[in-house]
A and B are shown apart, each in its own frame.
Chain A
Amino acid sequence: MIDSTAFVRPKYVGKPIRRLEDPRLLTGQGRYTADIQLPRTAHLAFIRSNQAYARINGINLDEAKTLNGVIGVFTASDFTHIPDIKAVSNMENYQVTSCPVLARDVVRYVGEPVVAIAAISRYVAEDAAALIEIDYDTLDVAVTARDALAKNAPKLHDKLASNIILERNFATGNAPVEIANAPHKVSGRFSLTRKTSVSTEPRAYLADYDVGKDELILYDSTNIPGIVRDEIGHLLNLNGNQIRVIAPDVGGSFGGKGSLYPEEIIVADLSRRLERPIKYVADRLEELTASSQAFGEEVEATLAFDADGQFIALDAEIIGDIGAYSIYPWTAALEPVQVASFLPGPYKTPVYRGRVRGVCTPKPPTGPYRGVGRPMAVFVMERLVDLAATKLNLSKVEIRRRNLVRAEDFPHRSSSGIVWDQSGFQECLETAEKAVSKLNLENRKKKSNKWIGVGYACYAELTGIGSRISVAPGMPMNTGTETASISIDATGAVTAKFGIASHGQSLETTLAQIVGEELGIKPEDVRIIQGDTAFSLHGTGTYASRSAVLGGGAAIKTSRALLIKVKQVAATLFNVDPEQVETGDGLIFVHNTNHAINFKELAQAVYSDMKTLPMEKRETLAAQESFDPFLGTTSSSAHVAVVEIDPETLVIKLQDFIVAEDCGKLINPLVVDGQVHGGVAQGVGVALLEELKFDDMGQPITATLADYLIPTSAEMPPMQVHHLETQLPPNPGGFRGMGEGGTIGAPAAIANAVADAVSHLGLCIDSLPITPNKLHALIAAKSKH
């Protein structure tokens, strides 16, 4: 008998449950795209442009074609049946770019694919590449966004009116007038250099065409398998049921695997044409020069405030260096427009003017990267806030406290139009401040002969965005819905299928925790299927801090729909009212009775045993529900960085990092900590190390991991993360997104900490990354004046 006083239904949500995906990943049994080997596979190598902007005069393929082991050599003229990639937008003042799958006539960045070679091995394909000559006529080009903006600048795309392919204006009130009349103002010209994702797994694609079924399977290291299926289907004229995109284990993305790439289209197309598997695995050089890049912005901004430090108005002029093409599906607006829309931040800034322009330059396209737009927006705003505090001799915490939206102000519509709702803006700051006080910094400063600085950054972000708002401004694609299909099969086993695509986020565990808790079974008994378009009607993938909110919401709705069926069937078996039926820990039972069966027995009664249940009571034990949060949820956080700078070497060492964050209900605290740590590490890279450099001919000069530096364990400080669950959002589960936040706050907090550490020198920290060399240059320039 199940004794109701003794049985407590186990809770799985909120527990630090060990990950279900770990055993395979820890023992070398993971299955990443490059690990999949199929008979008769042809391997692709690409010859990429070594010119930033040039006309292709001719390509000599003769020798390569005759090399033993070469299966085919292809140029743009072999892909005339594939339309160019075009990212459309509803935005006004937006020009669509045409991106051919292989460069046609003109190359527009170093790294653009020009020739594809299929051979029996990658070694042979690269041998053939060495035999191919491409004759280029170099064209005049404007390499920097500022130069490309000039009226007489050479145009990168002949058919477009100018290099400015997008412009958007934000205006609430009259910022120039308010600023002119304000008692105080601070200004700056800020820049964030280009970065790139550097997931440790390079991009990889393997297409397997089944001639008999006329069906294509594309194994793809992507985090947007649904979008890839839909668009490759469109470009290759295939129905959705003829193309299946599988994202197996994926080794990180951070946005870099979240756009459609020419290489995956070519792999898919060639597999059908050559009727054999086609595989392409990028090398690190290709990753650093031909995967999507990020940021690359300049912002001139002014913040006006009164004598109490209350913000009056904000004005910003934003230029985005978007690269050669507007990336599919997000468009080039994704990054720079979000700088403008998130610039006012979590503060009450009643008046705002922002103008953003996106400029084509001969560099790889910019695309999504963890944080998107907000790392720059927060960097600019938080620097201005610190400058304002200094000007008024107010504490850095106090000025923030006075301007952060308060609990009673929610919902608050920011001056850029974003609605903030129910999030612990003030609480995060308060928690961070308390944590800082325990560091005993004054004492440390006294004892140290180094320059010690502390920097704060507050931010808010929209996560789990619903169908009301497009994840990328103007993008005509619904990213606000997620569907779950959950079933109990004839053996009683539970399988839950989603359109999301985990690439490190632990979704096989967190979604199993949710489904397990809702249905009353152990998480390890739930099989989560995701990252495979064969199992979802529509699903765009995992990005934009959406999967916990949307996938989790769909999991809850669907589990509850299925539980109703479970209870109805059990009620018939037990001859009780469905409301009396409970589930927990794999059992279905009625309290204080002998009625108790497991899920296997339930399935048997429904599917196999034709005697127990009358025909009309044999419910199919499956449910499918969608969830759309419509607007989305507001996540917020306060970050604090403590840095120590050696006055002799100017080496900047991060000593402490504190995060106080409100992501609503935690599904798995271990996983949330991991996401915050990883995000902060990427923010550390943004602030102190990572910089893609191009020379004045547009040649990338950071094309190895010895030149493009990402944080190692030695650069990372220990981290303190404080989770706040203030008022929970009204979506199912009360979850908010938190995958990107670490990267959003950290650059600003570190920039402010460095500025604080060198405040006695009066240096402007307005460009990231800030490095010992750059600090030296700033000091040298200062001493000249």
Chain B
Amino acid sequence: MQERSIAGIVALLLLLWACGSSSAQPSLPEGLPPATPPPASQPATQPSGPALPEGLGPPGDQPALPGGLPGGDQPSLPGGLPGGDQPALPGGLAASQPATRPATQPAKTFLQSVKDMGLTGFWETRGGVRTQHPAGQRQASLGETRFQLDWEKHFKGDWTAHVVADFLYDAVDEHHTVDLERGRGWLDLRQANVSFRPLKWLDVRAGRQILTWGTGDLLFINDLFPKDFVSFFLGRDEEYLKVPSDAIKLSAYSDLANLDVVYTPRFDPDRFISGRRLSFFNPLAGRVVGREQTLSSEIPARWFQNDEWAARLYKTIEGYELAAYGYWGYWKSPGGVNPFRGEAIFPRLNVYGGSARGPLLKGIGNVELGYYDSRNDRHGNNPFINNSQFRILGGYEQDLPQIATDLTVSMQYELDVTAHHSRLVRALPPGAPEPDELRHVLTWRVTKKLLNQNLTVGLFVFYSPSDGDAYFRPKVHYKIDDQWSVEVGGNVFVGRENYTLFGQFERDSNVYTALRYGF
């Protein structure tokens, strides 16, 4: 008897040891599925897992119940499990909701009512000063307050209406009468368009709209949509670099490729530098001129005759975006001068190009090229009209987690080749400076985000070794909260000569600051 009981105890101990050492749970009582043994059999020292979240099946003896089942009969959490605030009561979830719902839905604020109407926007005040003695400009470079209203409404049948209007007071500018084409005065209509889908594979957007394509970062080869370099160089928000087009855009989609066609019935030039807000080198005057001698220009402006066409054929293959472009229109900024009247002109221009963008090494690489066919100077022997050009661009961007989080760097190189340089040189009037055949531009961008990405510190640099000039764009942006943000930045131009692209703006170098409330 004694021997038997000893042997039995040994066996029992062995059995217990075997079960315990397998780190599996003790055997299950009848009726319970194997995955969840009862709390009673939990050893007191069992390390606790997290409390079951609301909605998960209750622990312990009710494992098979789905979480949605009601009932206050759920077991309380076993000892050692943290948090009495997570009782894993599916029924309790339903019970607590009516009590908490009203508290989370306070009376609608005025702002919320505005938002519900599809209205968003911001109010912003921005000021800047020139850091050098200005050449024919005020010391103040910016002093304006603007209120942007953005209204978008979606209608049945894929119709969308979208209007973005800026109401502004500009203390630096003397013109307050509205000129919607040039974006002057107290109203800048940024967008006013309708979008619809007449066919499953066709999207149409008609009206005033912002248009962008191409792969460059602040360098544009095949994007011939109008730009506002005045805003860009003065330190307005980057969105104002793009000028709206009054155009119709057709986008057709197929498995083979996608096609965008943009028709602008009346030429939309850049908001180019005329001396009104930024001084520039006037080759006819041979010096940098400002407000005392603003550029007069002849802008082709006849509807349906001075029109523009732009097209993009594109397809993404395995993450690589390939595109071919065409443009038929005019030089967007003055592309020549009328030597007799001393006016800037906008000669005809066609552009053909292509681009590719996709993953490269640990980042994103892009190449883009274009041929600028200066149609009023096809032989390249008119010194008063821009020569035709080849332009090519390569870029690379990567984040650098090895150095720091939220740190991104990028670099670009652009080469512009004058197509008929020797003919141009032969045709130059005596004494005129000989333009380079090649223009090289390098850009660098460094962006670092800090403080939960609320603080962005960035620097963008353009540098042209051939022109011997550079343009620095430092910027610090801080989001105070969901509505308020502040920004400080600069536009610093340096150059060996006063007639190169960036060198001519040296005395327009400026710093600016802005405060914005968004809603």
Q: Do these two chains really belong together in a complex?
A: no
Interface residues of B (CB under 8 A from A): none
Query: Which A residues are closer than 8 A to B by beta carbons?
Result: none
